[in-house]
Structure 1
Amino acid sequence: MTKLKLSLATAAMAALPGLASAEVVPGVNPSTDSVFIFNTLLFLIGGIIVFWMAAGFAMLEAGLVRSKNVTMQLTKNVSLFSLAAIFYWAIGYNLMYPLGTWNIEGVLSGVWGPGVLEEVGITADAADDYGYASTGSDFFFQLMFCAATASIVSGTLAERIKLWPFLIFTIVLTSVIYPLQASWKWGGGFLDAAGFLDFAGSTVVHSVGGWAALTGAIILGPRIGKYKDGRTVPMPGSNLALATLGTFILWMGWFGFNGGSQLAMGSVGDVADVSRIFSNTNAAAAGGAVAALILTQILFKKPDLTMILNGALAGLVSITAEPLTPSLGMATLIGAIGGVIVVFAVPMLDKLKIDDVVGAIPVHLMAGIWGTIAVCLSNYQSELNPDGTTLGIQLYGIIVVGIFTIVTSGVLWFILKATMGIRVSEEDEINGLDMAELGMEAYPEFKAG
């Protein structure tokens, strides 16, 4: 998604013969116009589809938490998206794309002076060159990725974290932590210069959310009664139908997530690549779901729906770093390994007494790491593929982003814990956050349990 590697695909006219005979208007280049329009359209349609993932996260989390905490999860998901929209505009977008450097003056001028909102359409000098696509469409598309990062954290820390400390963490995550590390790859920074490849964000988006969630879960501690006398006590979710609906919504949203990250629809080749990305994305999800289905049958003697749902999501995360170059068979295998990772990682976290309510750490962090490494399977650097990557480069990017996110998130969590407190009282946790924090229940006809 690096802006620096984008170039105008003027060959689009070959695919649009009808425009070739259009009347020539002074100051207008039909070929450039069509590329600008179609690239912008891809950003807008992709962004709308990725926005729908916010509903997917909300439904998934609402289904996997206990009924006494459903309203809180819905509140967090609506609030975190809204805060991300405001603070990614105010700070994050200009911090994320500084051409590899952080210019304080440039960042501050983007807040209330010339910045994103001045360029939501065509720039001032657009009479000669519109540029690659509308700045407004790019901002809209990138915002959806930023918000998705915060949604990952929400599910892991469910059922015991206070609302306002979580929202403050969301503000810092979406305005500073996520944009800064994303600039190292997608803003033309040092990871991009090193040859690190992450097409749509297995590391830049998913592992960042996973590292932040893992750090928060360790500092916050497990839910009351989750680990007792050396065993893990199951705490089933309130509504597996909602969780399944959320998974399918996320599955659909990933077509925009990965397909839109082609960042171009102005040529025959670009459109063909988008269709290939769609197919590989779907194949990886299917591979992850089937792998979890079979493995849980073998290990537990019965299939586990929650594992199957997370297996599909892990497959999607796994293919996100490189959804273009694998074959359909390889994409299915990459996704299947993601599903296997989930089945083994969930009980591993329980043994470590790390309480992840929805399984976001295995899905987004561990499968994200795997997906970033899996880039080497189909896009390894060689004489025939000089633009590919190596295992060393991929591991370097994973480690750098991981250390940065752990340190910044850890410092922020500790500050919030020391100043505001991040965990609700024992009484409130037992009674449920819906009534304790919000005073309303998702299912008022039934007593929360």
Structure 2
Amino acid sequence: MTASTNIGAVRGVNTSANEQEQNRVYAKVFWRIMPFLMLCYVIAYLDRVNVGFAKLQMSVDLGFSETVFGLGAGVFFLGYFLFEVPSNILMHKVGARVWIARIMITWGILSAAFMYVETPLQFYVLRFLLGLAEAGFYPGIILYLTYWYPSHRRAKVIAVFMSGIPVAGILGNPLSGWIMDAFHGTTGMHGWQWMFVIEAVPAVLIGLATLAYLDNGIAKAKWLSDSEKKLLEDEIAADQKGKESVHSFADIVSDKRVWLMCLIYFCFVMGQYGLTLWMPTLVKATGVTGNLHIGLLSAIPFGCAIIAMNLIGRSADARRERRWHLIVPALMGAVGFVGAALFADNTAISIAALSLAAAGVLTCAPLFWSLPTSFLSGAAAAVGIAAINSVGNLAGFVSPYLIGYLKDLTHSGATGMYMLAIMLVIGSAAVLKTSPTLVNK
């Protein structure tokens, strides 16, 4: 055996040992922060979209039309849009622990206040304020994860975090239906009023827990040894080399890559909120009765989404390929929406189609965030992520409003489903415009 062979063998052993140590440390980080962040997102998403379930009683009790409900559901995202960039900048300055706690506590209080809604104007105002309160939570967490994970490890952890969306659907829809049925008439309050109050309490409690549990970053983590901190910090430093090509808000606005990200994310969010806010209504329209039964059937598509999100996220990280791992789920979502429209009167086929739609559209978002975070870091990431998320989430305003308007106009939900399918196809085409060197990381 030659000397060079011996050296190569030693290097191979050292490389393998280093990879094992990296995997051990990242596993430690994962189990420390990811279950907690996922719990936060489950609660956040539940309070954001439980209005879709409340609609089953609320619209009848208060006389809200489909258009009124759709506008109210969407107004949330106008407040979200206005305060998202300032919120992320503040989080980058004051730290995630205090800022995320503030977000959760204020949105919990406002969510409970929906029990007092009586008029469309009150509905609109509270939804707008809820959007202001919650602005910055989602992009703040995406930014927070860039403090811990390099680009090539991020798709998997973001997929785990965003599993909070389907988990909120699996747990929240049956829970919401049960609360509305079981508590209706208690102390003279409607079931939907009780739902808003009961589901707001965890947000406040977890917000307070955040102050004690969450660390601002690697340097503040007392549960890591000095050698573990150095390993993580070295990984982040190596990952950030050459990234920060944008340094100011003006750079963000003038960067064509950022605007392409906005377009892609807008299309995907159209599908996401079209699905999550209208799921109970779509299931009910197939002939299902009883809020609990609607909730249980609505949970099925979200269960399928959890499996798809995590399998495809792992595949994207293992292959370091993003483009087709985004395009295929988006097209799956489009096919699912078309199927749900064509078989709207058949419960079994409709649930199967909605399951395909959920698996597709909910898989897109975690994979998408590997794109902008591959060329943004530091302060640029704080502004860029928030800007992309805020523009993209305007789809959260457009999507429910258009679906409600089209349903009132045509007296059918099919047109709205076709519209969502078209948006997902446009998003897929936009992904093809991304640079292969950007997506293959």
TM-score normalised by L of structure 2: 0.32
Judging by fraction of residues, say which structure has more helix.
2
